[in-house]
Each structure stands twice: as C-alpha cells, then as structure tokens.
Amino acid sequence: MLKVNDINVFYGSIHAIKGVSFEVNKGEIVTLIGANGAGKSTILNTVSGLLKSKTGSITFIDKTISNIVPHKIVAAGLAQVPEGRRVFLGMTVEENLEMGAFTRKANEISEDMDSVYVRFPRLKERRKQIAGTLSGGEQQMLAMGRALMSKPELLMLDEPSMGLAPILVEQIFDIIKELNAAGTTILLVEQNAQMALSIADRGYVLETGKIVTSAKASDLLNNDAVKKAYLGG
C-alpha cells in the first residue's frame, strides 16, 4: 500500500535520512522504532509531503506521492497524527474534528463524527470545549479522532505514547489495534519499542537515519540490534 524507496532527506547540510526504503502492506500494523533523533518523524513528514526527499520515490496505492503537495496526500487517503499531538489549542474539540475532515464535504462528515464520539466518549462530553483545556490523554484521543475524520486508508501515528501515563498508553494502543481490526492500515512510529512491537506485524529499526534491521515484530522483540538501538551500546 505504501512503498518508500531510497529516500534521502537533508536539513540544510545535515543528512538526516540516508537511503531509507520500507513498505507497508494493506491491513498491516508496521512500526518504525528507533531512539530519539534517529529520524522517525522526519520519515513520516516526508511521506506526508511536508519535507522533500532528494532522491527515490514514495508511492501510495499505486500513485507516486513524493512530488505532490501535503493537502493532496491527505485527500489521497494518508493521514498523520503528528508527534506531540498538535491539536489546534485555540479551537473547540468539534472544530478540531471538522479540520480533520477538511478534504471532505461538510454534509458527509456527521456520521463519522458520531463514530469518533462513540470511540472516544470523552471527546463527546467535551465537544464544545477549547482543545487547550484538555488533558494530554484527551488531546491524544482528539489528535487520533481528527486524523480519522479524513477517512484514511493508512494512518501514520508519531509517538502516540509520548508523555502519557502507562494506563493511558495501554488504552491508546488498544484503540490502535481496534482501528486496525476495523480495516485501517497503520504505520506506527515509537520510542517505546516494547509496546509498539507487541501490537505490530512487522518492524523496522532505525538508527541515525538508516534502517539497520527489519523483521517480524515478534522476532524483533528478542533481537540484539533492537536492544542496541535503545540502550545506545
């Protein structure tokens, strides 16, 4: 479904992503794991079109997306929940969800908004509230609900566990599994490798901008390279 082929991304003269290739098949949960600064978010932002790769190509459902603008990539069915949630703090919960459905017609979204509210009942209680007043866990739910409003084929999640209490992390990961079971393909970026690998089908290990290992998630859980990527030795 998503095929990333040999991308190289630079920040000025810094070579952040060095010839990365990977793919995500329909129905899978694939995780990109790696330490802080390994380039995980850079890869997602390149797939989303916010950053450009100097080389290679990215294709999504048989369509090259590496040279099109971000808003068209969203319209093609690829949504991202960015790192740090990045909900619109000055807008209400409901307005945030509306923004998630920006590429769709206003009269088609009320059903999907209801289903987001069924999945995240807390958001329904707070739907007229300004997002800046929500707790971290609620903001993460809002960020996920907002991304779902575009009806994505592939949902990319960037560090959904960041800054959340363990019980909330588990809840968020359960929701990711449910979304996957309901037919959404997932690309999950995580520092919390243990958690990510426990729900993923396959995983790629990223180290300073390069993929060093890839395997079935269950194999990676016991792999030395994975331990190395996290313990820094």
Partner 1 sequence: MSLVFSQLINGLQSGSIYALIAIGYSMVYGIILLLNFAHGDIIMVGAYVAWLVVVNLSLPPALAIALAIIACTLLGVVIEKVAYSPLRKAPRLSLLITAIGISFLLENLAQLKFGAGAKNVPALITGPALDIGGQHIGFTAVLTIIVSVVAMIGLTFLIRKTKMGKAMRAVSEDMGTAQLMGINVNSTISFTFAVGSALAGIGSVLYSCAYPQAAPTMGSMLGLKAFVAAVLGGIGSIPGAMIGGFAIGIAEAIVSAIGLSVWKDGVVFAILIIVLIFKPTGIMGKKINEKV
- Return the residue of 29, 30, 31, 100 that touches partner 1, per CB under 8 A: 100
Stretch in the footprint of partner 1 (CB under 8 A) among 63-71, 114-122, 163-171, 205-213 = 63-71
- What whole-number distance in Å separates Cα of residue 220 and Cα of residue 204? 9
* Smallest gap from residue 100 Cβ to partner 1 (A): 6
Sheet order of strands, 2-11 included: 14-24, 2-11, 57-60, 63-64
DSSP character string of 90-123: TSBHHHHHHHHTTTS-GGG-HHHHHHHHHH-HHH
Shortest CB 12 distance to partner 1, Å: 12
Nearer to partner 1 by Cβ, of 39 and 203: the residue is 39
Site for partner 1 in 16-45 (CB under 8 A): none
How far apart are alpha carbons 52 and 128 in whole angstroms?
37
> Looking at 14, 106, 167, 231, which residue binds partner 1 (CB under 8 A)?
106
Partners of residue 188 on adjacent β-strands: 31, 157
Question: Which span (9-17, 65-73, 112-120, 217-225) binds partner 1, by CB under 8 A?
Answer: 65-73
Span 78-97, contacts to partner 1 by CB under 8 A: 79-80, 82, 86, 88-91, 95
Site for partner 1 in 109-148 (CB under 8 A): 146-147
Q: Is 103 in the site for partner 1 (CB under 8 A)?
A: yes
As measured in angstroms, the least distance from the Cβ of 106 to partner 1 is 6
Query: What's the longest Cα–Cα distance across the chain?
Result: 54
The answer to whether 203 touches 214, Cβ cutoff 8 Å, is yes
For residues 130 and 160, is the Cβ–Cβ distance under 8 A?
no
CB-nearer residue toward partner 1: 39 or 49 = 49
**Least CB distance from residue 71 to partner 1, whole Å?**
5
37: its two tokens = 């600064």
| Count of all residues that appear for the chain in the document | 233
- The per-residue DSSP string of 12-52 comes to TTEEEEEEEEEEE-TT-EEEEEE-TTSSHHHHHHHHTTSS-
| Residues that bind partner 1 in the complex, under the rule CB under 8 A | 48-50, 69-71, 74-75, 79-80, 82, 86, 88-91, 95, 98-100, 102-103, 106, 146-147, 150
